[in-house]
Chains A and B, each alone.
Chain A
Amino acid sequence: MVIIMDKNDTLDAKGLMCPMPIVKLAKKMKDLKVGEVLELIADDVGSKEDVPAWCNRTGNQLVGQKEEGGAFYFYIKKVQ
């Protein structure tokens, strides 16, 4: 996946287990404006599948993803 590193805000969900990263992500996205990108950092292995599923369901766009130092980084663009 192409990595897009431009971000407007970061949510550090390291140390949190399912479902907390998703619950916090949903809350945080409400604060963003359409078109802005949130960087989400999580280390719950489940988030690797959960975050794309969340984006798919809510219609937000996963514009980048990487794995670094045992953590997963997601770049999510607010679509609506």
Chain B
Amino acid sequence: MAETKKFAMVVSEGSFDKAMMAMMMGNTAASMGIETHIYFTFFGLNLLKKGAKPKLPGMLRFFTGTMVKKMKGIGMEGYQEQLEMAKELGVKIYACSSSMEMMGIKKEDLIDGITVLGAAAFLNMATESDMQLFIG
């Protein structure tokens, strides 16, 4: 058994494509036995709102439904299902405290089971990780 690796990811955008990328990467890593930490900041924070339904960016947003259907057709779950899966797989989810303040989002607006963190705490975690990714 290879030693346990640690993975830190930052998500700074809240569009559908970024959301799915984060979930797919995070869930795959967790399934591989990699300890996975995801930090949601700026517009990424919207993804942690209860019942969040992200859309594609800009004018492409009108095609989100088509894309969701296409993904379902090839056996890919939707965003909410993947987020639920992430929690089941033990992915650690963090919300950026200053983004919450800036965007007027309260802890109770966000899904359960997440931790509110400042940048320093997350960066400290990232320095101890074997792999860091930024999705934005």
Contacts and interface: CB of A to CB of B under 8 A. Distances in A.
Contact of A57 (B24, B34, B74, B85): B34
A16 interface: yes
A57 to B, nearest CB: 5
B28 A58 contact: no
Interface of B: 1-2, 5, 24, 27-28, 30-34, 74-77, 85, 89
Q: Is the interface of A mostly helix, strand, loop or mixed?
A: helix
A3 interface: no
A17 B28 CA distance: 12
Interface residues of A, number: 19
Contacts of A54: 31-32
A19 B2 contact: no
Interface in A20-40: 20, 22-23, 25-27
Interface in A52-68: 53-54, 56-59
